[in-house]
Structure 1
Amino acid sequence: MFPLERQQKILDLLQIKKVLKISELTEELNISVDTLRRDLNTLTKQKKIEKIYGGVKLIESKFAESSMDERMVSHLEEKEMIARKCAEYIEDGDCIYLDSGSTTYQIAKYIKHFKNLTVVTNSIPVVNELMNSHMELVIIGGKVRLNEQSVVAYDYMFNFNQLNILKAFICASGITIEKGISDYNLEEAITRKKIIEISKEIYIAADSTKFGKDVTVSIAHLDQIDTLVTDTHLNKNTIQQFRKINTNLVIAEP
């Protein structure tokens, strides 16, 4: 197979699965890792794909939400740093909310040692991660979004006011000083709005790529947010701008 044929085959495979591991591609194409890397370098220079931790993905559209499978492996090191920092704000006996996002999912890995912790969530991956732990798990009731592996709830389906959440850890697809935090999906946004409304402390866990974006649905202005936790790749100008507002900006370091 000629290089152009291989490269087109890689793009075709990514159209189907969105994210592929290096090992999957070498097996599917029956080529060496070195040959694959040359093809991937070519496609990366053409801005058709993006290299991620352990694999590759199609360049995500600026106008649409990427899939959960993509986000679970994209910017993974940064999300783990953010998750570790978020876990520092949690204490024994807390009742916390973990949102349905790839960054908040990582938090679940760092909280298993806490005592008497109650975790409320709408994330099926978070439930699976904590299923065998000793903490109290509460999953909100509602409609399952299969592609997001999450549950979205409405007032007539779930009584949010019965929850007594001390600290809520929320994801966002967009963050700006002017518009606050936003998301692509209306149903997810409704659930996040309700959680923000009833929780005592609000933490946004989002990697630096989310800053400067204002996407489809507004969730909350920054004056409703106590702390933003992000990674070290946030540019200095953005950091300086956020230092001027009341919301606490925390940079998670390795």
Structure 2
Amino acid sequence: MSVVAMYREKRFEEIKRLLQERKELSIEDIMQAVNISRDTARRDIVALVDQGVGRRTRGGIVAPTFGHTVPSYSERLNLFSEQKTQMAHLALNLIKPGGVYFIDDSTALLKLSQSIATECTIYTHSLDNAIAMSVQSDITLRLVGGKLNHHGRFFFEPAALNTLSKIAFDAAFMGATAIRSDGVYFPYAEDAQVKQAVASSARQVVVVSETQKFKIAATYQGMSLNQIDTFITDRNLTATERAWFPKSTRIIYPH
């Protein structure tokens, strides 16, 4: 075996290892992990897809079963990407001093929660968001209580829905498990009910989600796309994807 072939084989093994661990890799992830050019990364993705290692996406490669099941919150933390960090920073620009906000239970919004250094009031039903913001003395933290969903790591009690529906949040920052042409979906009915209550009362609804969520299925609708004022995502939308949203919806992504 030639030296070039040996290097390619070792490179593929490392990409396979990372894909098994993270479930998805962008072209940039592969370039950085094995120190190759963008063109080489694209060729490697094509070769690995041909081997059945994964499925090709517009921006990289995903594991063969990706999107067939919804990973737990803890599993999603392992998928934390630079794109999620960039999206969280874009959302941070919408937090203003003295504002009252709701922050949802998503891993991208955990990064937002960790980054806030502004005097404001935050409501959340997320255990991890609450822990992150508990060390920020400038934040007035309001934890929505109830029973903890250990898989999703959020709290819920029916009485909280009435409270949330009566708060005119300056903005509600929402995640998404799945996005379809008719709305944003989630795997738990209770979590979807929280989204419905908050989206109905917030002055501005901001959804922070990667475009891969267009490929995932979930059961319970949390809001319609017509309710979204700002969509922060990881790339520019295709014409088909953009047509799902009202023209008034602002689309923001890292450049």
TM-score by length of 2: 0.71
The alignment's C-alpha RMSD in Å is 3.4
- Pick aligned residue for 1:225 from 215, 223, 228: 228
Deviation at 1:229, TM superposition (A): 0.9
User: Does residue 180 of structure 1 match 2:190?
Assistant: no
**2:171 equivalent to 1:170:** no
Report the residue type matching 2:71 in the other structure: S
Contact 1:140 1:158 in 2 (8 A): no
Question: Which of 160, 181, 197 is equivalent to 2:200?
Answer: 197
Deviation at residue 45 of structure 1 after TM alignment: 6.8
DSSP 3-state at the match of 1:119:
strand
Shift of the 49–220 alpha-carbon distance from structure 1 to 2, 3 Å rule, reads same
Unaligned runs of 5+ in 2: 1-12, 24-32, 35-44, 56-61
Q: Are residue 63 (structure 1) and residue 64 (structure 2) matched? A: no
Aligned to 1:141: 145
Question: C-alpha deviations, 1:13-36, integer Å up to 9, x for none?
Answer: x7xxx769xxxxxxxxxxxx99xx
CA distance in 2, matches of 1:207, 1:76: 10
| Aligned counterpart, 1:24 | none
SS at match of 2:251: strand
Unaligned runs of 5+ in 1: 1-6, 21-32, 35-40, 51-56
- The answer to whether the Cα contact below 8 Å between 2:145 and 2:160 also exists between their aligned partners in 1 is no
Query: Using the alignment, how far apart are the partners of 1:47 and 1:75 within structure 2?
Result: 24
Please state if 1:248 is matched with 2:237.
Answer: no
2:241 is matched with: 238
Quick one: distance in 2 between partners of 1:156 and 1:104?
21
| 1:60 shift after superposition | 4.4
SS in 2 for 1:219: strand
Which residue is equivalent to 1:126?
Answer: 129
Find 1:153's aligned residue among 157, 175, 189.
157
In the TM superposition, 1:66-105 aligns within 5 A as 66-105=71-110
- Worse-superposed segment, 166-175 or 154-163: 154-163
* Secondary structure class of the residue paired with 2:159: coil
Note closer, same or farther for the CA distance 1:227–1:156 as it changes in structure 2 (3 Å cut). Answer: closer
Q: How many residues align?
A: 216
Give 1:174's aligned amino acid: A
Query: What TM-score do you get using the length of structure 1 for normalisation?
Result: 0.71
Cα distance in 1, alignment partners of residues 179 and 161 from structure 2? 29
- Judge which range, 209-218 or 167-176, deviates more: 209-218
Partner Cα separation in structure 2 for residue 81 and residue 234 of structure 1: 17
Tell me, in whole angstroms, the C-alpha distance in 2 between the residues paired with 1:78 and 1:158: 35
Of 206-215 and 58-67, deviating more is 58-67
Distance 1:209 1:161, change over 3 A: closer
